[in-house]
Amino acid sequence: MCLSTVYYGKKKKAELAKLPDIVPCWKAVRLSADTNKYYPPIYDYGKPYKFGWNEVRPISMCAGYWVAYHAFLSRKEAIRWKNSNQIAVKCKTEKKDIVAIGIQPGGLSVIVTKRFWMPKPKKKKV
């Protein structure tokens, strides 16, 4: 996932000022039926997200902003972006952990955060 428009300076401050201190956000994730754990949406490998706070050290890449966890600001946007094998999960992050804010292609509002809280997966009914 990448941002087509990244807010900087006054625009970034203005957008962040609209958000509460604890920011509700949505992630598109894959739920593994075998392990009942959430996995990142794009990769078929890698570690699952853990229940509770997930943290990553942001890295600067040629994208023009710090790369970390991407999350949508509304459920509707997460559902619009996700694939058929993914679900939209409500998470939360703190405003101080947001490293970038902007728009993804298609006009979807996205935050990039170095830390977010992931809920415990609900058991799938068999």
Query: Where do the domains of the chain lie?
Result: 5-118
Strands (E), 18-97: 22-31, 38-39, 52-55, 59-60, 66-67, 69-72, 87-94
DSSP β-bridge partners for residue 117 = 53, 92
Average per-residue pLDDT for the chain: 85
Quote the CA–CA distance of 43 and 62 in Å, as a whole number: 21
Residue 30 bridge partners (DSSP): 39
User: What share of the chain in percent tops pLDDT 70?
Assistant: 87
Query: How far is residue 83's CA from residue 55's CA, in Å, rounded to a whole number?
Result: 24
Q: How far apart are CA 33 and CA 126, in angstroms?
A: 10
Question: How would residue 54 be classed by pLDDT, with cut points 50, 70 and 90?
Answer: very high
Number of H helices, E strands in the chain: 2, 11
Q: What is the pTM of this model?
A: 0.83
